[in-house]
Amino acid sequence: MGLLSWFQGSGPSGFGSSSTAEQVTDGVDASDLTAIVTGASSGIGKETARVLALRGATVIIPARTLEAAAKAKESLLEGNPDAKIEVMELDLGSLASVQSFARAFLSSGRPLNILVNNAGICWTPYQLSPDGVELQFATNHLGHFFLTKLLLDKMKATASETGTHGRIINVSSSDHAMADGSWLDLDTINDQSKFRGLLPYGRSKLANILHVNELSRRFQEEGANVTANSLHPGVILTNILRHIKLPGFVFSSLAGLAKPFFKSVPQGAATTCYLALNPGVKDVTGKHFADCNEATPSPHARDGELAKKLWGLSEELVQKCRKPT
């Protein structure tokens, strides 16, 4: 437990920064639910998958390689031999891979109640995806946008057939606040001269929030029994920071000094699991959360017109970049 957690109490939900994923889902029976958790081979994604499976859900773990997904499954089964976990291959940086994953999942005939768009990369060197889009934006937003689009009908059908509402959760970051709305075109996204520090990551995290806001608006407009929310998990030491170029001993020393002020992985996964399973947010949609309570994101993240503009750009990029199959 980080030192800051000792000084921060719970909010209206009854939970707070020191709450863990197990605590916020205590007593929930998810045995009839199926969830997809991207980025579940490590970090808070793996903890999210563990706790959803602990509560009885069938959890699909997609990873860039089946080997990575299989290792995660093996590790989770060691702690819970009865866990219902399946693995599939998915590279969110490639729209062709996203399409292949969605086709394979949909052909299985499985229902889909929960989609956790958790996977992310941060502070990578400048690089374009196979589809020609800056890699952090491609992986953190565009891949998830396309994945969600392809799975929407299945989620709506599952909700209609079972009477259990679907939940879509986008894991964002407080770093979304460093981005404004001036970058929403491919030329700016791909401009290497503007690629510096955490700004590209912040843009992708702003996109995560705007994505679910527009998604939620559309759900409400059509009366779909599906909710969509975003969250900031807190600051956690996970391998999302693996691209920071520091000597190993320097990174370890800095991490050791900062660790008391960071959340643990079980605490970092709490808000995701809260939004995925807790009955207290059953009908809540289009909101942003931190520490298992509603939070106010940046003004740009609350801009409905900006959300519509991002949606249009994302649709355009998917059409432009997707290769015929």
Is pLDDT of 254 > 50?
A: no
Domain coordinates of the chain in residue numbers?
Answer: 3-321
Distance in angstroms (rounded) separating the CA atoms of residues 280 and 137: 32
Per-residue pLDDT averaged across 296-321, rounded? 96
Is the Cβ–Cβ distance between 309 and 181 less than 8 Å? yes
pTM (2 d.p.):
0.91
Q: Which CATH architecture has domain 3-321?
A: 3-Layer(aba) Sandwich (3.40)
Tens of pLDDT, residues 223-236: 999 999 999 999 88
Beta strands 293-295 and 288-290 are antiparallel
Mean pLDDT across the chain: 91
- Please give the share of the chain, as a percent, with pLDDT higher than 70: 88
The better pLDDT of the pair 194, 241 is held by 194
pLDDT band per the 50, 70, 90 thresholds, residue 243? very low
Q: Given this model, what pLDDT does residue 261 score?
A: 58
Q: Length of the chain in residues, anyone?
A: 325
Residue 172, burial from CB neighbour count under 10 angstroms (0-12, 13-18, 19+)? buried
Q: Given this model, what pLDDT does residue 25 score?
A: 98
Q: Could you say which of 146, 201, 219, 289 is catalytic?
A: 201
Residue from 165, 314, 313 nearest 229 by CA: 165
Q: Given this model, what pLDDT does residue 238 score?
A: 55
- Please give the share of the chain, as a percent, with pLDDT higher than 90: 85
Residue 126 is among the residues annotated as catalytic for this protein: no
